[in-house]
Amino acid sequence: MSVISLTCIECPIGCALEVEMENGNPVSVKGNGCPRGKLYAENEVVCPKRVVTSTVRAKNGVMVPVKTDRPVKKSEIFEIMKKINQTTCELPVKIGDVLVENISDEANLVVAGNA
Amino acid sequence: MKNYYDIVVIGGGPAGLAAAIAAYDNGAKDILILEREERLGGILNQCIHNGFGLTRFKESLSGPEYAARFVDGVLARNIEVFTQTTVLSLTKDKKITAINTEYGVFTVEAKAVILAMGCRERSRGALNVAGSRPAGVYSAGTAQKYVNIKGYMPGKSVVILGSGDIGLIMARRMTLEGAKVHAVCEIMPYSSGLKRNIAQCLDDFNIPLYLNHTITRIEGDKRVTGVVISEVDKDKKPISGTEMHFDCDTVLFSVGLIPENELTKGAEIELSPRTRGAVVYQNRETLVSGVFACGNVLQVHDLVDFVSEESELAGVYAAKYVLEGAIEHDGVEVVNGSNIGYVVPQRLDKNIGGNVKLFFRVTNTFRDCTITVKCGDTVLLQRKKKIVVPGEMETLLLTEAKIAQTNGKIEVVLEENV
């Protein structure tokens, strides 16, 4: 049995988590202050995922904030960044508009702010 | 144009927006927001990363998404907004002189003023880093504006000084956009940024964090070509022989935020040398009657959620001031004792009523300690803490009943448990 130490990134508290592993699978999580921390730790030791945030240049040059609407595999982040930087859009857009469907892992790229 | 308003809010960032909405909803209907930039939202517009709003909305929003909720709130109410308007001066009789392209230089008068100008970044000049003055040295926030708003990269090969949250966020952002971030160095033995940002901005991308290190030389003539970083001793003096060299074309400074109080000084409003923001009562009223301050212009917050909360308090009391008139203050001082950096509010007034949340920061990292709020020998409140760090603001709630027991100066102290 081995133990993996993590910092929870679910909220600003940043709990120090300890995950007990057996045969590559998490068996227990310690240190989490809430249920979200347990879930984060269990996913993190198997397949870490992140929400990617970036910008897309609209056709008139204005930068539009965007994000993936769910966490995507950490290992795919740079692939996703490439796709984001090839994306453009026409204004106006509004928060939540989908710019790229299924950019990775069933996550869509959505508008995350007013341009 | 109209030159008299019940409330004028200086600044249309998160603080100003929340204050204006709260003032409106509490009965003040004649409100003007003055904003320097082209649009409302303040610094949130360039903070495109997520993680905002977890406390307030129980969801993880980007900065622009968080801002939009409040901008929509202002637009849904009959609150007047001037953007691209710079305030030039404020007087203690609440006359505001400002300038914009529509009206030129103009003066408006207000029954109550809400200061919500936010803060600015500490600069390279304030740190006195040796070396010439080549292009490629930016504050982290400036770089963030270039990348996220203007859409171009300020450099390709980066060293960051200071591990505040903006520096950590920019380490990740520059990396995602293809730059190589060689190192983040931090002169203190701890990061002033959130632990989760160390994890998701540095560790995720294998960016090294050098604690107890600072930049001792910036090299380059026209453009930055490299930096030297050195380890520092207990007195923060560089240790000879510990130098490390990095080739780079860009240096970012993320070395602290300072409340932006030029207007406040001009109005002769007393500032605290500790927070560098105004001295306020718990209703966020400064020592000049009818002038309120909230958000990062008052104290630099860790989270925008807390800025919104504080600003609503200021907005509620500014509306009360307009509708019910000035309060005769009967205040006692609140001071920071041993191991406490500052406390806000710095004045407590029994006439205001209600419970009061004290905000403070500790001066160092302490484990197993006790924080006590006392008035003379009377202990009003005591809390044991497993760990406290300067990077995280602490709060304690003082109930109205406890405040009633006070008869003089209130002190907040931290003692280590032995």
Question: Which among B220, B255, B290 is the end of a domain?
Answer: B255
Please check whether residues B407 and B309 belong to one and the same domain.
Answer: no
Residue A112: which residues within 8 A CB-CB, separation 6 or more? A53, A65, A66, A67, A95, B48, B50, B61, B62, B64, B65
Q: Are B220 and B133 in contact (CB under 8 A)?
A: no
Interchain CB distance below 8 Å, A7 and B68: no
Interchain CB distance below 8 Å, B62 and A55: no
Please check whether residues B251 and B264 belong to one and the same domain.
Answer: no
d(CA B357, CA B299): 14
How many angstroms away from the CA of B259 is the closest CA of chain A? 22
How many angstroms away from the CA of A57 is the closest CA of chain B? 7
Q: Are B28 and B319 in contact (CB under 8 A)?
A: yes
Phi, psi of A82 (to 5 degrees): -60, -45
Please check whether residues B314 and B335 belong to one and the same domain.
Answer: no
Tens-place pLDDT, residues A49-79: 999 999 999 999 999 999 999 999 999 999 9
Please check whether residues B175 and B87 belong to one and the same domain.
Answer: no
Nearest alpha-carbon partner for B388 in B408, B412, B360: B360
Question: What does pLDDT average to in each consecutive run of 10 residues of chain B (418 residues)?
Answer: 96 98 98 97 98 94 98 98 98 97 97 98 76 89 97 97 95 98 95 90 97 94 96 96 98 94 98 97 97 98 96 98 93 95 95 94 93 94 91 92 91 93
Q: Are B359 and B394 in contact (CB under 8 A)?
A: yes
Q: Are A83 and A103 in contact (CB under 8 A)?
A: yes
Residue B22: which residues within 8 A CB-CB, separation 6 or more? B311, B312, B313, B314, B315, B316, B319
Which chain A residues touch B55 with a CB distance below 8 Å? 12
Interchain CB distance below 8 Å, A50 and B204: yes
How many angstroms away from the CA of A9 is the closest CA of chain B? 5
Return the exposure string of A89-107: e unless at least 16 CB atoms fall within 10 Å of the residue's CB, then b. beeebebeeebbeebbeeb
Please check whether residues B338 and B304 belong to one and the same domain.
Answer: no
Cα–chain-centroid distance for residue B266?
20
In chain A, ranges of CATH 2.20.25 domains: 2-46
Question: Which among B255, B284, B302 is the end of a domain?
Answer: B255
Count of beta carbons in the 10 Å neighbourhood of residue B235: 5
The number of C-beta contacts closer than 8 angstroms across A and B is: 86
Question: Which among B300, B327, B354 is the end of a domain?
Answer: B327
pLDDT at A105 over 90: no
In terms of DSSP H, where are the helices of B114-241?
140-145, 165-176, 195-197
Q: What pLDDT, on a 0 to 100 scale, did the predictor assign at position B126?
A: 64
Q: What CATH number is attached to the domain comprising B342?
A: 2.60.40
Q: Which two tokens stand for residue B140?
A: 């982290």
Please check whether residues B129 and B243 belong to one and the same domain.
Answer: yes
Which chain A residues touch B149 with a CB distance below 8 Å? 63
Task: Provide the β-strand partners of residue B253.
Answer: B139, B161
Please check whether residues B334 and B390 belong to one and the same domain.
Answer: yes
Which helix (H) or strand (E) segment is B332 a member of? strand B331-336
Please check whether residues B116 and B261 belong to one and the same domain.
Answer: yes
pLDDT at A12 over 80: yes
Please check whether residues B276 and B365 belong to one and the same domain.
Answer: no
Please check whether residues B366 and B355 belong to one and the same domain.
Answer: yes
**Cα separations in angstroms, B263 against B10, B20, B161, B334:** 10, 19, 29, 25
pLDDT at A28 over 70: yes
Q: Which CATH architecture has domain A2-46?
A: Single Sheet (2.20)
Please check whether residues B105 and B172 belong to one and the same domain.
Answer: no
Beta strands in B212-256 (DSSP E): 213-219, 226-231, 244-247, 250-253
Which helix (H) or strand (E) segment is B120 a member of? strand B119-121
Nearest to A67 among B62, B147, B150 (CB): B62
Please check whether residues B169 and B52 belong to one and the same domain.
Answer: no
d(CA B352, CA B281): 9
**Residues of the domain holding B219:** 123-255
Q: What CATH number is attached to the domain comprising B315?
A: 3.50.50.60
Interchain CB distance below 8 Å, A113 and B48: yes
Tally of domains within chain B: 3
Nearest alpha-carbon partner for B71 in B22, B34, B9, B17: B17
CATH code for the part of the protein at A53-111: 3.10.530.10
- CB proximity under 8 Å: A 20-79 to B: 50-55, 57, 61, 63, 65, 67, 74, 77-78
3-state DSSP assignment of residue A20: strand
Q: Which two tokens stand for residue B216?
A: 């001792």
In chain A, ranges of CATH 3.10.530.10 domains: 53-111
Nearest alpha-carbon partner for B326 in B295, B287, B354, B298: B287
Q: What pLDDT, on a 0 to 100 scale, did the predictor assign at position B365?
A: 87
Nearest alpha-carbon partner for B21 in B94, B64, B76, B96: B76
d(CA B287, CA B270): 7
Q: Identify the band that residue A11 occupies on the pLDDT scale cut at 50, 70 and 90.
A: confident
